[in-house]
Structure formats: structure tokens, C-alpha cells
Structure 1
Amino acid sequence: MKRSVIIKLQQILDKVVNINCLEQLMPNPILRDSQTSYWKRGVDEAILQEFDTLEVFLSCLDTLFCEERTIPIKVKLYDIHVLYTLEASAAIRLYDAQGHLISQQSCGRGMYYYLPPGHYSLTIPAGKSQLFGYYFQSKTFRKKNKKPYVFLHDLLRSRRAQVEEVVVSKDFKVGKRTRMYIRALCRGLKKRKLKNESFVFGIIHDLIDLSAEKISEEETKMSYDLKIAIQARKLLAMHIEEKGQETQINLLADDLKLDLDTVNRYHKQHFGKCLRELRTDLLLTRAKRLLDSGMGATKTAYELNYNSRDAFGRFLKKHSNQTPSEYLQSLDSAP
């Protein structure tokens, strides 16, 4: 397959003769029979391994940087790209020629890209990073072959139409099985061997199948987690309506038949707040709604099951910076 991605390491590093010129970095895994280049400038080091087959182009980039670096990249042809972040101290970031962020990819995550020809840049964090990737032609997914791969449909349509906009897939987990496939692929490469083509494409298919599985698992789990988080919000609001400030969030564990830590984690994941913060928000909203309706501060306090107007006043002051009297005055002065 023709090389369609040029990683311009020469713009930030100097090419050196061999691995003996490097002081710290070692390639792992090693792409057997690959074309390998070594790079160094100061304490920064990099190793680029590349291997081409008839239908897939493989690469592995190891870097060791003292601080965040940005590598220019040129894409020459219309292909589908896959990138696995096997190691990194922070998310890697891909930008287009105008400096617009295309994606952020954390350690242990993978992503598929449709990249039209053009100039891009890849920002890699300080410390040791390892990126493994490959690109292939869309004909791999002709006719019935593409049906199980819903997550790739937008990318494949864009590739076939050769649109000029970047398209990315959902990211997915790079787990133990994915890493095992990548190691097996790297070990089994053999240059100019007929059987190599079927070997490579067999493992590539396994990796794509595994990506589809991981994305489906995460989507299913996300749907379940979100459903629980939404149910928790509704149930807590009902308890606040019924019991006011006497509502305890541990009631949700019995309501949802899940431990409270799990429910709390799901809610924070989807809504950015813990259940205790949600309880405060719901109680504050109900208090203001009662005051808005014309109910006085004392009646509102008892409606919310406070022992006294003062206790209710302290709650309102703490969470809205207004006493009940100040809040009611603000209603009267509102246009």
C-alpha cells in the first residue's frame, strides 16, 4: 500500500544512525522486518517503525519528550486511519491545518479517523508515549462486510465521496485483548512473504471486530448508567417534594436496588454533580418555588420540615446568599 501519511519528525528532532545513538528509548513492541528510523535532539528521543502491505500500512511511534511537543503531519491520500494510544502521560491531541482541535485521545483508548489529504499536527505530552496505528482503504467494507460496523458508516461514506471534512469515530477502550492482537501482529510480520498478507489482514479484521465490540459494550453501559442517573434525579425530586429537608440520599439505594456509591458515580458521570449537591439544588429550587407562590418564610420552613424559620433561613443564606426576607424583597422589586 502506498505511504499516505508523512510524520515530519525532522521538524522537531534530528535523525540519527541507529538505536545506539539513543540514551533511554527502546521500541516495544518491535515491528518485525519494519523500516525503522531513530531520532534525537537534546534529551528528546523518538523511534518510528513502519511496515507496508498490499492493503494496510502499519506504524508505531515511540517518543520520550521533556515537555509537550507538536509533530507536523501530512496526509496525501483518502484513507481510513486507526490510532491506539498505548502509553501516554496525558491525552494526545490532533489538530487540522487551521489549528482547530479534531480529537483528544487518552491513554488506553483507540479511535478511527477519516482524514482527507492535507496538513495536520499531533501534540504529544511530556514523558514516554507510544502510538500504534494503521490505515487502510474503504474497499475492505464492500457490500455485506460493512453491516456489523455501524460505528464506521459515516467514515466509509465520507471516504467513498472523498469529502473534505474530517470524520472521527467514538473512542473505545484498548484493553488486554487489543494489546495481545497488536503484539501478535508485530511479532508475525514478514517482509515479502505471500502468507504475510493474509496474516496481517486476519489480525486487522480481528482488531476491527474487537473495536466494534468495545464500542457496543460502552454504548450499552452508557445507556444503562444514564438511565440510572435520570431515575435517581426523578426519585430524589419526589422525595424532596414529600419530605423536604428530611430527605436522605441513601433512600436511592433501596429505590434503585444499587449501592449508593454506584448511583452517585453514574450521576456525577452524566450530570457533573454528586447526589448531595443534587439534593441541595432540588431543596433550594422547591424553597424558592414556595416563596414565589406567596407562601411566607415561616410556612415555607415548616413545609420543608425545618424545625424553625431560622434553620430554614440559614440554609437559604448559605446556598443563595440571601435570607428569606431578602429573597422576598428581590421578588417585590423585580420588574
Structure 2
Amino acid sequence: MKRSVLSKLRQILDKVASAHCLEQLEATLILQDSQTSYWKRGADEATLQDFDTLEVFLSCLDTLFCEERTIPIKVKLYDIHVLYVLEASATIRLYNSQGHLISQQACGRGMYYYLPPGHYSLKIPAGKSQLFGYYFRSKTFRKKNEKPYIFLHSLLRARRAQLPEVVVSRDFKVGRRTRMYIHALCRGLKKRKLKNESFVFGIIHDLIDLSAEKISEEETKMSYDLKIAIQARKLLAMHIEEKGQETQINLLSDDLKLDLDTVNRYHKQHFGKCLRELRTELLVTRAQNLLASGMSPTETAYELNYSSLDAFGRFFKKYSKQTASAYIQTLLTDQ
């Protein structure tokens, strides 16, 4: 397969003769029979391994940088790309030629890309990083066999139409089985061996199947987590309407048959705030609605089960940045 991605390491590093020229970096994932180049400038070091077959082009980039570096990338052909971040101290970020962020990948995550021809840049964090990837032609998938791979449909359509916009899949976990397949693939590579083509293609298909499995698992889990978080919001709002400030968030544990830490984690994951913050927000909103309905501050304090008008007044002013009377006056002025 023709090389369609050029990593312009020469712009940030100098090519050296062999691995012996590298002082600290040692590649831990070896692509057998690959074309390997070694790079160094000052304390920064890198190793790039490439292996091509008829349908797939494989690469592994190991880097050791003293600070974040940007590697220019040139894409020459329309292909589907896969990138696995096997090791990194921070997220790997890909930008287009205008400097707009395309994606962020954390360590232990994978992602599929449709990249039209053009110039890109890859930001690699300081420390040790290891990126493994491959790209393949869209004809690998026929109309009949692509149906199960829903996460790839938009990328395949973009590739077949040769759209000018980048399309990416959602990211997915690179787990133990995925790493085992990658290592098995790299160990079994043999240059110019016909049987090796079917071996490579077989494992690539296994990796794609694993990607589909991981994405499905995470989407299912996310759907469950989100459902619980939404139920928690609705239940807490109902409790506050009934009990006012006497509402305790631990009621949700009994309502949902889950421990409170789990419910709290799900809610913060999807809504960006803990349940205690939500309780305060809902209580303020309930108080404002009661005041807006015509209730006096005293009546509102009673309705929300505060022990005194002063206790309600302190709470309302703390979170609304104005007294209850001033809030009523604001409503009247707006009318």
C-alpha cells in the first residue's frame, strides 16, 4: 500500500544512524521486518517503525521529549486511519492546517479518523509516548459487510465521497485484549510473504471488531449512567418540592437502589456538578418560583420548612446574591 502519511520529524529532530545513537529511548513494541528510523536532537529522541502490506500501512512512533513538541504531518491520499495511544503522560492532540483542534486522545484510548489530503500537526506531551496506528482503504469494507460497524459509517461515507472535512469516530478503550492483538500483529510481520497478507488482514479485522465491541460497551454504559443521573435530578426536585430544605440527598440511594457515591459520580460525569450542588440549585429555584407566585418571604420560608425567616433569608441571600425582598422588587420592576 502506498505511504499516504508523512511524519515530518526532520523539522524538530535530526536523523541518526541507529538505536545505539539514542541515549535513553528504547522501543518496547517491535514491528518485525519494519523500516525503522532513529531521531535525536539534544535530549529529545524518537523511533519510527513502518510496515506496508497490500491493504494496510502500519506505524509505531516512540518519543521521549523534554517538553511538548509539535510534529508536522502531511496526508497525501484519502484513507481511513486508526490511532492507539499506548503510552503518554498527557493527551495527544491533532490540529488541522488552520490550527483548529480536531481531536484529543488520552493514554489507553483509540480513535478512527477520515483525514482528507492536507497538512496537520500532532502535539506530543513531554515524557515517554508510544503511538501505534494503521490506515487502510475504504474498499476493505463492502456495503454488505460494513453494516455492523455503525461507528465507521460516517467515515466510510466521507472517504467514498472524498469529502474535504475531517470525520472522527468516538474514542474507545485500548484494553488488555487490544494490546495483545497489537503485539501479536507486530511479532508476526514478515516482509514480502504472501501468507503474511492474510495474517495481517485477519488481525486488523479482529482489532476493528474489538473497537466496535468497546464502543458499544461504553455507549451502553453511558446510556445507563446518564439515565441514572437524569432520574436523580427528577427525584431530588420532587423531594425538594415536598420537603423543602429538609430534603437529604441520601434519599436518592434508597430511591435508585444504588450507593450514593455511585449516583453522585454519574451525575457529576454528565452534568458537571455534585448532588449537593444540585440540591442547593434546586432549592434556590424553588424559592424563587414561590416568591414569583406571590408568596411573601415569610410564607416561602414556611413552605420550604425553614426554622425561621432569618435562616431562609441567609440562605437566599448567599446563593441569589440579594435578599428575598429585593428579589420580589426586581420581579415587580421587570413587569
**TM superposition score normalised by structure 1:** 0.99
In the other structure, the counterpart of 1:321 is 321
CA distance in 2, matches of 1:151, 1:290: 47
In the other structure, the counterpart of 1:152 is 152
CA distance in 2, matches of 1:311, 1:158: 60
Give the secondary-structure state (helix, strand or coil) at the position aligned to 2:145.
helix
The amino acid across from 1:175 in the alignment is G
Map 1:251-262 onto structure 2 (within 5 A): 251-262=251-262
Give the secondary-structure state (helix, strand or coil) at the position aligned to 2:278.
helix
Deviation at 1:331, TM superposition (A): 2.5
CA distance in 1, matches of 2:332, 2:220: 50
Deviation at 1:205, TM superposition (A): 0.4
In the other structure, the counterpart of 2:249 is 249
1:19 and 2:16 aligned: no
CA distance in 2, matches of 1:318, 1:246: 18
CA distance in 1, matches of 2:331, 2:118: 58
In the other structure, the counterpart of 2:6 is 6
Q: CA RMSD in A?
A: 0.8
In the other structure, the counterpart of 1:91 is 91
Give the secondary-structure state (helix, strand or coil) at the position aligned to 2:23.
coil
CA distance in 1, matches of 2:324, 2:284: 11
The amino acid across from 1:130 in the alignment is Q
Deviation at 1:108, TM superposition (A): 0.6
CA distance in 2, matches of 1:68, 1:56: 30
CA distance in 1, matches of 2:66, 2:27: 18
The number of residue pairs the alignment matches comes to 335
Map 1:138-177 onto structure 2 (within 5 A): 138-177=138-177
Map 1:184-263 onto structure 2 (within 5 A): 184-263=184-263
Q: Which runs of 5+ in 2 are unaligned?
A: none
CA distance in 2, matches of 1:178, 1:100: 30
CA distance in 2, matches of 1:330, 1:67: 53
The amino acid across from 1:248 in the alignment is Q
Give the secondary-structure state (helix, strand or coil) at the position aligned to 2:185.
helix
Deviation at 1:329, TM superposition (A): 2.7
Deviation at 1:324, TM superposition (A): 1.8
Deviation at 1:143, TM superposition (A): 2.5
Deviation string for 1:44-77 (max 9, x for gaps)?
A: 0100000001110000000011111110011111
CA distance in 2, matches of 1:53, 1:231: 51
Give the secondary-structure state (helix, strand or coil) at the position aligned to 2:144.
helix
Deviation at 1:192, TM superposition (A): 1.4
In the other structure, the counterpart of 2:112 is 112
The amino acid across from 1:239 in the alignment is H
The amino acid across from 1:205 in the alignment is H
CA distance in 2, matches of 1:3, 1:180: 26
The amino acid across from 2:254 in the alignment is D
In the other structure, the counterpart of 1:277 is 277
The amino acid across from 2:136 in the alignment is F
| Percentage of matched positions with identical amino acids | 84
In the other structure, the counterpart of 2:133 is 133
Deviation at 1:180, TM superposition (A): 0.6
Deviation string for 1:168-210 (max 9, x for gaps)?
A: 0111000111111001111111111121111111100000000
Deviation at 1:317, TM superposition (A): 1.5
The amino acid across from 1:97 in the alignment is S
In the other structure, the counterpart of 1:33 is 33
CA distance in 1, matches of 2:136, 2:5: 11
Deviation at 1:327, TM superposition (A): 2.0
